[in-house]
Amino acid sequence: MVSNTTLGLNSVDRNLLNLFQLYKASRWQTLLYLRLPSAMPYFLGGLKISGGLALIGAVVAEFVAGTGGAKSGIAYRILISSYNLQIPRMFAALFLTTGLGVLIFVSLSALSDFILSKWHESAVKQEN
């Protein structure tokens, strides 16, 4: 997320940056009114990527470190099911993990579309 946000903060339209300098805008005004809106699509893209990676990190951490509580967690169910050769239960837990990943991505995509839909060309609906 830091990488994407930094890229967005530095990808400001140079003509708009020159205009802000021409009107003697302060650094805070330039940040608030130019750089942050320019970085918003990059930030939201990083958020979508990080959402899926957070789920993967949680499952892998539970695989490696063990469970957080008594018999809890999807990764715990996957491990126990594979040890006991309960293949349908193991695949059910895998599909739950997949569904949760898709749900996280879809919800963050909806949030991104909601935030960007009024002004950014990546989310504005085209009219014919």
Q: Taking residues 93-119, what's their average pLDDT?
A: 91
Q: Taking residues 95-117, what's their average pLDDT?
A: 92
- Mean pLDDT taken over the chain: 87
Q: Binning pLDDT at 50, 70 and 90, where does residue 101 land?
A: very high
For helices 74-83 and 36-65, give the axis angle rounded to 10 degrees: 30
Predicted pLDDT at 30 = 94
Q: Binning pLDDT at 50, 70 and 90, where does residue 17 land?
A: very high
Q: Which of 70, 49, 53 lies closest to 61 in space, CA to CA?
A: 53
Predicted pLDDT at 95 = 94
CB atoms closer than 10 angstroms to residue 116: 17
User: Quick check: 11 pLDDT over 80?
Assistant: yes
Predicted pLDDT at 80 = 85
Q: For the segment 25-70, what is each residue's pLDDT rounded down to a tens digit?
A: 999 999 999 999 999 999 999 999 999 899 999 888 888 876 556 6
